[in-house]
Amino acid sequence: MSTAGDLAESVRAAAHAADARVSVDIDTGDMKLNIGPQHPATHGVLRLVVELDGEKVKSVKPVIGYMHRGYEKLVEVRDYPQVTTLINRIDWVSGFCNEIPFILGAEKLLEIEAPPRATYLRTLLCEMQRIASHLVFFSAYPLEVGAMTPMFFAFRERERVLDVLESVTGGRFHPNFNRVGGLFKDIPATFRSECAETMDAVRNVCGELDNLIVGNEIFMERTVGVGVLPPEIALDYGVSGPNLRATGVAEDIRKTSPYLAYDQVNFDIPTGENGDCFDRAKIRLREIIESTYIIDQLLDSLPSGPVMAKVPKVIKVPEGEIYVKGENPRGEMGYYIVSKGGGTPYRVKIRSGSFSNISCLEYLLDGVLVPDIIAILGSLDFVLGDVDR
């Protein structure tokens, strides 16, 4: 670290100058600071090269790629059923949602349709995953603006949600539950009551979080008017998900081009007004509540029947191309699948929410203070695995 050497050098120089009792010109040059790749608030390995004048940001350059695992290439040598294992790990906080668009794409290419019960359960588990994911936001974000307690409250209920997910899929983080043509298994007998109870608990913790953090004076002070993203700029950068809706654009794939059973349930799309950090947090809280109601409706109208369609033992997808997208907790998750026939995809392009969402960082971080860097970073709720893939 040569800069540390420079610092020590300037300390020595200053001491020397003081000894000699001569006035020194204090050098107030800009400081270059590497925030990350190892830093508590960068959610993993994002690196920001920041030029600072005091605490004010003069320029910022995000550097990504530390987490690149080459998934697009890896899926080219996997069978279709094997791919879900990998894409689970793109955005590891919402594994189940990652599987959906890919499986839907494969099913469309194969011209298989999953049974209605499977579709409903997929929708339900997707919303469950959205709740778990947004609760992670409510643990990380308060920590980043300095509040410790909301994290434990959010994690307490997230654990219950994950328990329910686990009772169905067997996995807390990586369910790997979708199959081409349906689901691996039906839900256990206790699912209904557990699920309903958990939804009550989640609504309860949303009230607590609203009191403790979103309605908190200091939290508002830190987030209202900070990191304002105008809707047109958000659209230019391809920002999606809650970050886009916070700017006031009511764009939600679940509504605008419904997939799964989303056209069978009633729900609102919460939108913000100012597109600042506060709106981004508030919207996620309201989305959690909407999701609990979606789950309640799906539980009530869950059709009976099998959860797996008739599919051939060895899946061979006919030639074709398809782009399928879904509304992930972090924005639009899409797969462009190219098949040249055979058991493995020829090429898959993965479009993930976080990558586009953090592309507006340079715009957002221009001229802000150091504490606001962290507040803005956290409010975008990105996952590095989702950025780098």
Partner 1 sequence: MTIWIEVAVKTLALLLMIPLAALALGYSELKIMAHMQSRVGPMEAGKFHGWAQLIADGLKFIQKEDVIPEAADRSVFALAPVLSLISAFLVFAVVPFGSGQRFWFFNLDIGLFYALAVSAISVLGVLMAGWSSANKYSLMGGLRAAAQLMAYELPLVLAAVAVVIQAGTMSLVGIVEAQANFSILGIPVPYVVPQFAGFVIFVIASVAELSRTPFDMPMAESELITGPLTEYTGFRFLFFFMAEYAGMFALSAIAATIYLGGYWLPGVPDNIAPAVGPVALVAKTGLIAFFLIWIRSTYPRLREDQLQKFAWKVLIPISLVNILVTSIAVVFVSDVQG
Minimum distance, C-beta of residue 347 to partner 1, in the bound complex (Å): 40
Minimum distance, C-beta of residue 214 to partner 1, in the bound complex (Å): 11
Minimum distance, C-beta of residue 68 to partner 1, in the bound complex (Å): 25
Minimum distance, C-beta of residue 343 to partner 1, in the bound complex (Å): 46
Coil, helix or strand at residue 183: strand
Minimum distance, C-beta of residue 329 to partner 1, in the bound complex (Å): 22
**Two tokens at 331?**
């924005």
Coil, helix or strand at residue 341: coil
Q: Output 42 or 247, the one with its CB closest to partner 1.
A: 42
Contact residues for partner 1, defined by CB under 8 A: 1, 3-5, 7-8, 11, 31, 33, 39-41, 55, 142-149, 151-153, 156, 212-213, 216, 218-219, 221-222, 369-374, 378
Q: Output 25 or 217, the one with its CB closest to partner 1.
A: 217
Q: Which one, of 130, 155, 132, 129, lies nearest residue 142 by Cα?
A: 155
Minimum distance, C-beta of residue 213 to partner 1, in the bound complex (Å): 7
Coil, helix or strand at residue 49: strand
Q: Output 374 or 383, the one with its CB closest to partner 1.
A: 374
- Burial code of 233-262, b = ≥16 C-beta within 10 A, e = fewer? ebeebbbbbbbbbbbebebbbbeeeebbbb
**Two tokens at 252?**
């939600």
Contacts of 16 (CB under 8 A, 6+ apart): none
Q: Output 338 or 370, the one with its CB closest to partner 1.
A: 370
Query: What DSSP character marks residue 369?
Result: B
123 CA to centre of own chain:
18
Q: Output 100 or 213, the one with its CB closest to partner 1.
A: 213
CA atoms of 89 and 197, how far apart (whole Å): 29
Q: At what angle do helices 116-144 and 95-110 cross, to 10 degrees?
A: 150
Q: Output 106 or 368, the one with its CB closest to partner 1.
A: 368
